[in-house]
């Protein structure tokens, strides 16, 4: 019996009715909707990988009153629920898991696909629906229960949907028969809800994409399938962090929607890639896997895939040149007329319909467009890569993209372009563009005589203490914090490209440039010359540290403006304390500067770091030879190798003994690593001694008392 079957066997209801689920229904509950391939598990079940999503309350309330809840609490939220979700958001798997939740908590649930509902009188269909799930239960026994639950999946596709009267009768009938009813439907169903007054009492929720916390939970489940129980914690964390960084790169800015379906396909692609084959180690292989999976789900023949890819590539190139993200009917006809003069195409209508069925394209009011941005970015970049032989025309298009790398569309097409092409000219242009950002600025070195304004602040704030914390909780807190930050950022993203300041444009250009350089490094580390790899890392670090210098100066200007505003306020309100307010502004300003430096060191390390590049980072750090690069190298090694080199840390601590800023930063970096990786007490004690860090006194006393018993 498989693990999934064991879990399902626990769902058997043991009461006076002695009811048991049918084997067919057990198999249905166990099936994860897609057959995922895992190298350590022949059959992957729904329970192996399912993670409850978060949901947002979408009742008509002011924005500040909207709430987010976890899906695992749905069974006890309310008796009447509507759950909306986009395609591939996991509605069916959520329905299955809700069924299990209700069953385990003493309810008697019925899970129905709306395709099974043929008329509004549900009572006439109940015997058959009940028998499919509980073969030993009669309709009379079933209806005697007071704890009945009906879960209807794919409700928006019900065959009665176009008959308002019939739908109202159906909902009314379900409400009268079941104490609890839950409808799962496509997000577009929200526009139909007002048509049915019987749904007014229902609480309405929307399935949210997976944030960092949910992705982390799903990745941990994937890793747990592979690694045996005796695997040490550091190996587990290393594997999880490696996959988290790769998935975060792939779903960056929702280029790939962070839905469980997409994340699992990416994990499958990352795990199945043969490291001996360079083209498969590229993230382009992961994108390609998603596209192949989409085509396979709509039954496109294997022999037709090459032709479909070519059409999509030409379509991506056509839309890239257009001012619109879609092609109307006339544009599409012109496109295929031109396409057919160069390539063979048998039935353009069938091709478009197949691509719509596979969710690669979609119809909108404006015409035909790519359903998700990553499809457009992938194929627009493929078209450019395939057109490089045309010379200057294509190169001008690529140069325009590189010059606008601070914009989302352009930076992502460049990212996909480096997956499609190994042309050194493209890499040169990207590197030149990085070198041209802040060419006249000095980079932050973090030498002892620099940033003197921060040194007194560092001496005055409390010393860092190495406490006893649980890594799993720290990781969850970190993921939740990242989700919160991204939610705040998303509120402003739509306006960043409208009329951004020069500072914002260059900041975006720095961040996106070093991300692109990091992708080049990771994807091409085995095929690019060592000198070129060193240039990529060195220029990425230098431009980031130049930006840090500009950002610190910008913060100083803001501080001065705030102080001036406070002085105006004091004139109008003489009772306020001038000294105290100014002190708070100064303290906040210094704290922000310190956090900015620490955050930038981490950003550089994550953007350009990888496990295979250790020799490159050592060489670059030696060439630049500043405290800043020493700290960056340390963050990279901790992030990607998970190894604490005690002798090296002791040397760094000695090196920074007269540099209070770097000494504090080093301690901060090491303490954070300890919190995120469950470093053992003895190793933490060694670190505390070598770096002169205070340890949590209560924890030390507790352990000492245990030894003396």
Mean residue pLDDT across the chain: 85
Residue 625 and residue 234: Cα distance in Å, rounded? Answer: 30
> Which pLDDT score is estimated for 39?
72
Looking at residue 646, what DSSP letter applies?
Answer: H
More confident of the two residues 266 and 513: 513
What pLDDT score was predicted for residue 246? 85
Segment (H or E) for 207: strand 203-207
Q: In what order do the strands lie in the sheet with 368-370?
A: 326-327, 368-370, 361-363
Q: What is the DSSP letter of 327?
A: E
Q: Which helix (H) or strand (E) holds 123?
A: none
Q: In the structure, how many helices (H) and strands (E) does the chain have?
A: 30, 12
Nearest by Cα to 239 from 256, 220, 262:
220
Q: How crowded is residue 366: how many other Cβ atoms within 10 Å of its Cβ?
A: 12
pLDDT band at 499 (very low <50, low <70, confident <90, very high): low
Task: Please say whether the beta carbons of 669 and 631 come within 8 A.
Answer: yes
Cα three-residue angle 258-263-265, rounded to 5 degrees: 140
| Cα(540)–Cα(517) distance, integer angstroms | 7
Neighbours of 172 (CB within 10 A): 14
CATH code for the structural domain at 3-208: 3.40.50.300
Beta-ladder partners of 81: 182, 203
**Site of tokens 């996959």:** 243
C-beta of residue 513 within 8 angstroms of C-beta of residue 430: yes
CA distance 358 to 299: 8
Query: What pLDDT is recorded for position 60?
Result: 55
Taking phi over 0 as left and psi of -120 to 50 as alpha, with beta for the rest, 207 belongs to beta
In the predicted model, is pLDDT for residue 707 greater than 80?
no
Between the alpha carbon of residue 634 and those of residues 132, 617, 621, 646, 666, the distances in Å are 60, 10, 10, 12, 9
Q: Which of 22, 19, 9 is nearest to 145 (CA)?
A: 19
DSSP states of 151-174: EEESGGG-TTTT-HHHHHHHHHHH
The pLDDT of residue 395 is 94
By C-alpha distance, which of 421, 424, 420 is closest to 285? 420
pLDDT in tens, 310-333: 999 999 999 999 888 899 999 999
pLDDT in tens, 434-455: 999 999 999 999 999 988 888 8
Contact status, residue 376 vs residue 325, Cβ threshold 8 Å: yes
DSSP state of 345: -
Average pLDDT over residues 261-275: 76
Torsion from C-alpha of 669, 670, 676, 678, nearest 10 degrees? 180
pLDDT at residue 493, as a whole number: 54
Beta strands in 416-483 (DSSP E): 465-466
The candidate with the shortest Cα–Cα distance to 649, out of 625, 628, 669, is 669
pLDDT per residue over 647-690, tens digit each? 999 999 999 999 999 999 999 999 999 999 989 889 999 999 99
Question: What is the 8-class DSSP label of residue 365?
Answer: S
Distance between CA atoms of residues 26 and 539, nearest Å? 57
Residues 6+ apart with CB under 8 A from 520: 418, 427, 430, 528, 536
Q: Are 170 and 120 in contact (CB under 8 A)?
A: yes
Structure tokens at 440: 């006249």
pLDDT at 540: 96
The full set of domain ranges for the chain reads: 3-208, 273-420, 452-707
Instruction: Give the pLDDT confidence of 451-481 residue by residue, as tens digits.
Output: 888 888 888 888 888 988 899 999 999 999 8
> Residue 397: is its pLDDT beyond 90?
yes
Give me the residue label for tokens 């209070």.
660
Residue 480: partners with Cβ closer than 8 Å, 6 or more residues away = 212, 213
Q: How confident is the model at residue 83 (pLDDT cuts 50, 70, 90)?
A: very high
Strand ranges in 78-138 using DSSP code E only, listed in sequence order: 80-85, 108-113
Poorest-pLDDT segment among 343-352, 441-450, 493-502, 528-537 = 493-502
How crowded is the C-beta side of 372, counted as CA atoms within 13 Å? 22
Q: Where are the beta strands (DSSP E) in 287-388?
A: 326-327, 361-363, 368-370
User: What average pLDDT score do residues 17-44 get?
Assistant: 80
Q: What is the pLDDT of residues 164-177, one digit of tens each?
A: 999 999 999 999 99
Q: Report, as an integer, the average pLDDT of 98-116.
A: 92
Secondary-structure breakdown of the chain: helix, strand, coil percentages, each rounded to the nearest 5: 65, 5, 25
Residue 591: band (very low, low, confident or very high) from pLDDT cuts 50, 70, 90 = confident
**Residue 78 half-sphere exposure toward CB, CA atoms < 13 A:** 13
CA distance 81 to 538: 55
HSE, CB side, 13 Å, CA atoms: give it for residue 641. Answer: 15
362 within 8 A of 295, measured Cβ to Cβ: no
Least confident of 59-73, 293-307, 516-530: 59-73
How buried is residue 628: exposed, middle or buried, by Cβ count under 10 Å (0-12/13-18/19+)?
A: buried
**pLDDT > 50? residue 16:** no
Tokens of 513: 């440039």
How far is the CA of 265 from the CAs of 309, 397, 479, 507, in angstroms?
A: 19, 32, 21, 33
pLDDT tens-place string over residues 603-620: 999 999 988 899 999 999
């Amino acid at each position: 019996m498989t693990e999934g079957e064991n879990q399902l066997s626990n769902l058997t209801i043991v009461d006076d009715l002695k009811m048991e689920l049918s084997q067919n229904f057990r198999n249905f509950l166990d099936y994860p909707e897609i057959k995922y391939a895992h190298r350590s598990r022949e059959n992957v079940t729904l329970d192996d990988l399912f993670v409850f999503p978060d949901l947002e309350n979408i009742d008509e309330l002011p924005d500040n009153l909207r709430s987010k809840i976890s899906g695992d609490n749905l069974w006890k939220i309310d008796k009447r629920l509507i759950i909306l979700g986009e395609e591939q958001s996991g509605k069916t798997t959520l329905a299955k898991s809700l069924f299990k939740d209700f069953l385990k908590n003493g309810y008697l649930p019925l899970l129905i696909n709306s395709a099974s509902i043929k008329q509004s009188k549900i009572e006439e269909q109940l015997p058959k629906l009940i028998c499919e799930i509980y073969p030993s239960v009669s309709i009379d026994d079933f209806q005697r229960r007071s704890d009945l639950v009906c879960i209807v999946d794919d409700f928006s596709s019900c065959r009665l949907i176009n008959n308002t009267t019939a739908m109202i009768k159906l909902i009314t009938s379900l409400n009268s028969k079941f104490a609890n009813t839950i409808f799962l439907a496509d997000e577009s169903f929200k526009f139909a809800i007002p048509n049915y007054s019987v749904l007014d009492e229902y609480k309405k929720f929307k399935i949210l994409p997976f944030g960092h916390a949910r992705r982390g939970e799903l990745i941990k489940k994937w890793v747990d399938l592979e690694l045996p129980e005796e695997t040490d914690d550091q190996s587990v964390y290393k594997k999880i962090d490696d996959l988290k960084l790769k998935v975060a790169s792939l779903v960056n800015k929702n280029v790939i929607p962070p839905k469980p379906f997409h994340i699992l396909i990416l994990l499958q692609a990352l795990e199945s890639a043969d490291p001996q084959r360079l083209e498969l180690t590229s993230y382009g292989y992961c994108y390609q896997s998603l596209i192949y999976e989409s085509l396979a789900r709509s039954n496109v023949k294997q022999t037709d895939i090459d032709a479909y890819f070519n059409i999509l590539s030409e379509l991506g190139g056509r839309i890239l040149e257009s001012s619109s993200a879609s092609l109307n009917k006339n544009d599409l006809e012109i496109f295929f007329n031109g396409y057919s003069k160069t390539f063979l195409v048998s039935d353009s209508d069938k091709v478009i319909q197949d691509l719509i069925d596979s969710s690669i394209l979609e119809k909108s009011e404006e015409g035909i467009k790519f359903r998700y941005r990553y499809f457009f970015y992938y194929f627009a970049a493929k078209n450019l890569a395939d057109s490089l032989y045309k010379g200057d025309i294509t190169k001008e298009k690529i140069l325009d993209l590189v010059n606008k790398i601070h914009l989302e569309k352009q930076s992502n097409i460049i990212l996909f372009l480096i997956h499609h092409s190994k042309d050194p000219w493209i890499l040169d242009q990207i590197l030149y563009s990085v070198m041209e950002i802040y060419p006249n600025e000095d980079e932050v070195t973090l030498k002892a005589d620099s940033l003197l304004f921060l040194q007194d602040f560092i001496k005055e704030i409390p010393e860092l203490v190495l406490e006893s914390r649980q890594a799993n909780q720290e990781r969850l807190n970190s993921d939740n914090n990242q989700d919160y930050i991204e939610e705040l950022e998303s509120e402003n993203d739509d306006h960043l490209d409208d009329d951004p300041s020069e500072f914002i444009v260059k900041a975006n250009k720095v961040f996106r440039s070093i991300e692109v350089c990091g992708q080049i490094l990771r994807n091409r580390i085995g095929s690019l010359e060592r000198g070129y790899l060193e240039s990529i890392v060195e220029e990425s670090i230098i431009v980031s540290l130049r930006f840090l210098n500009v950002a610190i100066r910008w913060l100083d200007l803001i501080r001065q403006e705030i102080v001036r505003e406070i002085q105006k306020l004091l004139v109008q309100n003489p009772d306020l304390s001038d000294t105290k307010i100014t002190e708070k502004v100064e303290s906040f300003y210094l704290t922000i500067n310190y956090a900015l430096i620490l955050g930038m060191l981490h950003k550089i390390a994550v953007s350009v770091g990888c496990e295979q590049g250790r020799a490159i980072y050592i060489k670059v750090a030696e060439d630049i030879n500043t405290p800043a690069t020493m700290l960056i190298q340390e963050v990279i090694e901790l992030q990607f190798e998970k190894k604490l080199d005690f002798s090296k840390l002791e040397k760094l601590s000695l090196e920074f003994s007269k540099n209070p800023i770097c000494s504090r930063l080093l301690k901060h970096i090491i303490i954070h690593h300890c919190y995120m990786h469950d470093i053992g007490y003895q190793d933490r004690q060694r670190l505390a001694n070598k770096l002169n860090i205070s340890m949590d006194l209560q924890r030390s006393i507790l352990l000492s008392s245990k030894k003396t018993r």
